[in-house]
Every structure is written in structure tokens, then in C-alpha cells.
Amino acid sequence: MLAADDAVHLPIAADKLKDGDLHRYAWVSSEGKVVRFFVIDRFPGEWSPAVVFDACMLCGDTGYAMQGDQVMCIGCGVRLFRPSVGKTGGCNPVPIEDWVMNADEIRIPRKSLEAGLQLFKAVVELEVVDPVDGSRLKNTTAPHRYSYGTKTYFFASEANYQRFVDDPELFIKD
């Protein structure tokens, strides 16, 4: 889902995002964590989108649903004042920072999505590559993992893990 510029691009085609509905998306990080987010027009008829994580600081990642023309927290049932979606606090969805919009699309940088990693629990199984020896393994069953910078690396052996920890820059390719 990430483009070559390291961002997610959501087309604003045929006014689809302007219809007043909640439009759901998911991004899967390199470690397999599923980060859910949505776009909604806060002021129908005026095109004022909010781009937010499908989670809040109070109820966690239970998410949101539309009930009639209102956004509702699935965790506690609170109905949100639609114009407040995109603002911090209470049971509002956590805002995504630094997204930009032009006439054709909404662009969300990878770093902005990574900021939401701690909000979500779901992990999908991915094939990953041990950066030390190139062996292929699954993120969910790899015997060793190490977070460095904004990425988690997976290792087939203790020896590979230790070599990486001792000098990560030796194995990281841009």
C-alpha cells in the first residue's frame, strides 16, 4: 500500500470520499502489525476531511462505526459530534498527523502511520528476510526479533541476532 515516495495515497475519485460515509483503510507495517484508519468528511457539503486512526486513547482499538449520520465508538457506545472527529481528546479517534491533500488525493506519510503502531494489537503473518544471512522466515514464528529505528528485524538464529545487534548499520540496506 506504500508508494515509492514512502506514503499511502488515497484517491479522491468521483467524490467517493466526499459522500459523508466512513471510509476504512488498513496499512500493514514491516513487522506485520495492522494499523487501521479512516477518512470521513466532517462537514458534509463543505469537504472538510478528517484522517484518523480507527482507535482512541480511552477504548483502544475497538474502532468506530457509523450509526445513522453519527460516528459511534464501538467500545463504549459514545456518539461523536461529527465536526470533532480529527481533534484530540475524549473518545475521539486519534488524529493522524502530517497528512496532506490536493485536488486528486490524500497523502499519508509512512511515519505518520507508524505513529499509530502502539494503538493496535492485530498482527498478520508475513514472510520476512533475516538481514544477516538472507534466509526467509515468518514474522510470527521467527525465534528472534529486534527493533532498530522505526523497523523490526527478524532473525533465524541467535548468532544472526547478535551479529545484527552488534553492528546494525552493517546489515541495513536503504
Going 11 to 13 to 15 to 20, the CA torsion angle's sign is negative
Query: What is the SS3 assignment for 10?
Result: strand
Q: Tens digits of per-residue pLDDT, 56-114?
A: 999 999 999 999 889 999 999 999 988 999 999 889 999 999 999 988 899 999 999 99
Query: What is the SS3 assignment for 46?
Result: coil
Q: What's residue 16's pLDDT?
A: 79
Q: Tens digits of per-residue pLDDT, 16-43?
A: 788 888 999 999 998 999 999 999 999 8
Q: Given a cut of 80, is residue 13 above it in pLDDT? A: no
Q: How confident is the model at residue 168 (pLDDT cuts 50, 70, 90)?
A: very high
Question: Which domains occur in the chain, in start order?
Answer: 2-119 (2.102.10), 127-170 (no CATH)
Nearest to 135 by CA among 147, 144, 124, 122: 144
Rounded CA-CA distance 130/152 in Å is 11
> What are the residues facing 33 on neighbouring strands?
123
Q: What's residue 5's pLDDT?
A: 86
